[in-house]
Amino acid sequence: MNQDPLSSDLFPEIRLPPAPPKTRAPRKSKKTETTAPSNPAHRGEASLVGASSPTTTLAQQDPEALATVLEAHPDYRLLRRLKPRLHWDGAASQGLVRVVILDTETTGLDHGKDKIMELALLRLDLDSATGLPVGDVQVYDGLQDPGMPIPADVVAITGLTQADVAGQTLDEARIAELLADVDLVIAHNAGFDRPFVEARIPRFRELAWACSFADIDWKAQWRSSAKLENLAQALGLFYDAHRAEMDCHALLAVLAQPLPVPGHSGLAHLVEASAHASYRLQANHAPFDAKDLLKARGYRWNAEQKVWHTFLKDGGTLQTECEWLKEHVYHQRSVVVQLEKLDAHVKYASRQGELIHRQL
């Protein structure tokens, strides 16, 4: 909210104090000394209900008090600037899970040719019983000279210029400290970030990963979008997006909140999801006339391998899908299909998972 006078035309529902009755000013004698003119900057400023005096101006009000007035009205929804939280009260009741929240800014989308310009990490401990952070949050944010020109559209999005990153390099010793004893790395769109950081810091290849974009069904959580800015806005928060550290703080704020369904935190959900392997199932040698059935089921066509495939989140859904394939696609015929097992150590990486052949 800016500091313009609070007009009853703009906010009719905020009741202003009644104007005092007009009284006739006493006639001044010619010998009476005139008072100093009033400050023109204060002309027309209205006081609020609950102000300490009728002359208290909007500029003198507590911004949070003003926000509370608007927030209580059904015609207004308020956004507050995200304030990074670097300490969480409480102590673990059972055990700790150590996680790193990660984000990158890069020169482009292709990890084969583009490079990292910025890497940010938040290291924190979670109470394994509640899934909530405890203790201090350690922060790293470093710039990296990509050794190539930064495209103009990337400069416009991130604000990072060639001059900002010239001669800069990531602090690999500090990154190694933060990655020590880490149980899980979390990124919002890990399929993008993981290949970039693995190419730059090989230690990331050895760690388990989870994706807050793909591993949480945000639609089932009553969110209209899985975009991080939208998830933050649903909590009444805004922030300066597309810089790595602030994106990490925003993701922590979102994931530390209870999910509407089933109610535990997003952090707890990701820790649990990372314990289960997922699978990519291929419908090898599926008859041509089953293509519409497979497409309706959510299978995708891999033109290079010439096979329909689908992604399954765990072993339970894998078993159900194999039974469906045998009955509806292969009509009880014996067939061997191929699975790619993806545990948290290979999931979202650019390399292949364990290949398994399974007879239906």
Measured CA angle at 201 (ends 164, 102), to 5 deg: 70
Q: What pTM, to 2 d.p., does this model score?
A: 0.79
pLDDT band at 3, cuts 50/70/90? very low
Residue linked to tokens 């400290």: 177
pLDDT digits (tens, 9 = 90+) for 241-271: 889 999 999 999 999 999 988 779 999 999 9
Q: Is the pLDDT of residue 155 over 90?
A: yes
Separation of alpha carbons 118 and 146, rounded Å:
9
Cα distances (Å, whole numbers) of residue 327 to 113, 133, 324: 45, 46, 5
* 360 contacts 334 by C-beta, under 8 angstroms: yes
CA distance linking residue 172 with residue 142, whole number of Å: 10
Minimum mean pLDDT among 56-65, 87-96, 231-240: which range?
56-65
Q: Using the structure block, give the residue that is written with the tokens 């922590």.
A: 252
Instruction: State yes or no: pLDDT of 5 exceeds 60.
Output: no
CA 204 vs CA 184, 198, 233: distances in Å: 10, 5, 31
Which residues make Cβ contacts (< 8 Å) with residue 151, sequence separation at least 6?
Answer: 107, 108
Mean pLDDT of 203-228: 96
CB of 128 closer than 8 Å to CB of 97? yes
Q: Residues 28-42: pLDDT tens digits? A: 444 444 444 444 444
pLDDT at res. 30: 43
CA-closest candidate to residue 358, choices 336, 342, 331, 340:
336
Mean pLDDT along residues 129-145: 95
Q: Find tokens 């998830």 and name the residue.
A: 231
The answer to whether residue 50 scores a pLDDT higher than 90 is no
pLDDT above 80: residue 56 = no
Higher pLDDT, 130 or 136: 136
Sequence-ordered list of residues with C-beta below 8 angstroms from that of 329, at least 6 positions apart, any chain: 283, 286, 287, 290, 293, 294
Cβ atoms of residues 58 and 4 within 8 Å:
yes
Query: Which residues, 6+ apart, have CB-to-CB distance to 71 below 8 Å?
Result: 77, 78
Predicted confidence (pLDDT) per residue in 111-126, tens digit: 999 999 999 999 999 9
Can you tell me the distance from the alpha carbon of 128 to that of 135, in angstroms, rounded to the nearest whole number? 13
